[in-house]
Chains A and B, each alone.
Chain A
């Protein structure tokens, strides 16, 4: 464990971009964890007298059309957005990787079934599929999570399947059999650790997609309902004010959204470097 931490320190030290991404991620997690405690104002408190005031020392990011402090809303929304994204990705990764591993290792009818399921999902434009699922099941955070998880599942399944397929004929699999490992142990104990590094990169990319997905759904009204603070809704609400010059209502949530996706993408390589022992010298 300490070796891993030391190696993590080395990786972060070597690559400032990765270090920056991890710091940013840490800040986001802090925001999500502490949420309301960090917000200077109540995100739901409306004060129409102060509606649509620009950025000022009192309101760093300005106020929206109902006089709510945008900065506070953004901070509180972090918990929701990050929560949705991480839960969805955890689900997609968990189910997808397992299905893909089994399909790649055992082949046969497992492979065929998983393959057809994945093909079915991928036959749809993924965002449209998410829209359809949420529209059918109803607007709720849980449904957004399920929809996002489903549309991100195929990537993991295909990745895991391809990797398992390549490695199942590797010498160490036979060696593991000679050591008395059962097939299940080989799949989870020997193969899974090998495909994990590649999946790590995919996880970070998918986190970005998931956030964009949740925000996109909210943008078109199929996601979280107002007055809940969520980055996508805030951008949607602020969009109508750009033309009339109140740019800050949409701008700041948009920038934070962008920063989050950016941060996750940058983290991907760093994560892989930490997790993959082949990178250690």
Chain B
């Protein structure tokens, strides 16, 4: 049954970047590889809003670019509505039929709008290229989409620098939905907006999803917003998905130590006690370059680690209904004490290697 098939199925996705200086001669060892995305698998069902959270360096930006087919994966498959779109190279994807079905709303609306195009021209761009509309049909569709996103038609002839933050965000959304996509990737769509505008845009996204039968991949660092908008969330760390599950459950009872630390770092308005209940992550993230495949990515910062975490990479396992965590000692009871540990700080070697290879440290 096609209705059971997930809209998007990602399996074993990996993206590796070679790093280090080029050598003209002396072809010795293979170059070091930065594992931006390291074996990620998940699905997005029809009508679902899946949240993708993680901090800088976790790989969520790379995943977004892979799924939007702006980038080619090193390994793994991306299946959209049964079609293996990962096989179509990124540079040819613009001409492929599925292009219109996957669209994206960008983080910085100012940056994602061509400063020399009017709002009308910006929204018309996908219609011109992917739907080959022109003339009155084009104008009609652009105005219809503008109306849907709450953009007054008189603003269509304005340039981006003549529009407010909220208006630019609407133009970005209008452009993305103009060609009737099935999957919309939202890359931090409200992070540059004031709180008052954010509410309006979030409501708009919610309404559009219902009206147009869309599925969302919502990427954000703002966990509060993710909690409000998403059915399911995926938590990423160093290129791995460390936890996934229904948003309510994961927020109420995080199973992975990283998720727990992340949630405890979010300040709550009106609540002063955050500091005392803070669960910190000492040390710095491990290096994403040539990571040892048998060590858990959180090892060295995790209060629950033991020898096992150093020899056996944990895979995503079911914790409860629909909730998965990649941990040998998941937190099934949030009040439980962490197990006695032998916390090893990542060696100074990791740091030196980063500097030697010209990598900026990922340290907080």
- Residues of A participating in the B interface, judged by any CB pair closer than 8 Å: 3, 170-172, 174-183, 185, 190, 193-194, 277-278, 280-281
Contacts and interface: CB of A to CB of B under 8 A. Distances in A.
Given A176-B125, A180-B126, A183-B91, A277 B108 contact: no
B112 A179 contact: no
B94 interface: yes
A191 to B, nearest CB: 9
Contacts of B68: 178
B7 to A, nearest CB: 17
Interface of B: 68, 70, 91, 94-95, 99-100, 103-104, 106-108, 111-116, 125-126, 129-130, 157, 159, 161-162, 172, 175-176
B304 to A, nearest CB: 40
Given A180-B130, A182-B94, 9 more contacts: A171-B107, A171-B111, A175-B113, A178-B103, A178-B176, A181-B94, A190-B114, A194-B115, A277-B161
Given A178-B68, A180-B94, A277 B159 contact: yes
A192 B103 CA distance: 24
Mostly, the A contact residues are: helix
Contacts of A177: 70, 94
B106 A181 contact: no
A151 to B, nearest CB: 30
Contacts, number: 71
A99 B106 CA distance: 30
A172 B114 contact: yes
Nearest to B65: A174
A171 B115 contact: no
Contacts of B103: 178
A172 B95 CA distance: 18
Nearest to B181: A178
A102 to B, nearest CB: 16
A178 B162 contact: no
Given A171-B106, A174-B70, A278-B161, A179 B125 contact: yes
Contact of B112 (A172, A181, A277): A172
A27 B113 CA distance: 40
Name the 7 nearest CB pairs between A and B, nearest first. A171-B112, A180-B129, A171-B111, A179-B126, A193-B116, A172-B114, A180-B130
Nearest to B118: A277
B126 A178 contact: yes
7 contacts: A174-B106, A175-B114, A175-B125, A176-B125, A179-B175, A278-B115, A278-B159
A246 to B, nearest CB: 54
A179 B127 CA distance: 8
Contacts of A193: 114, 116
Contact of B113 (A3, A172, A182, A281): A172
Given A174-B70, A194-B116, A277-B116, A181 B111 contact: no
B70 A172 contact: no
Contacts of B115: 172, 194, 277-278
Contact of A181 (B107, B129, B157, B162): B129
B70 A175 contact: no
Contacts of A277: 115-116, 159, 161
A194 B176 CA distance: 22
A278 B94 CA distance: 30
Contacts of A179: 125-126, 129-130, 175
Contacts of A176: 114, 125
A11 B41 CA distance: 57
A181 B108 contact: no
B94 A175 contact: no
A78 B222 CA distance: 65
Contacts of A178: 68, 70, 99, 103-104, 126, 176
A160 to B, nearest CB: 15
A234 B343 CA distance: 87
B70 A180 contact: no
Nearest to B176: A178
B130 to A, nearest CB: 4
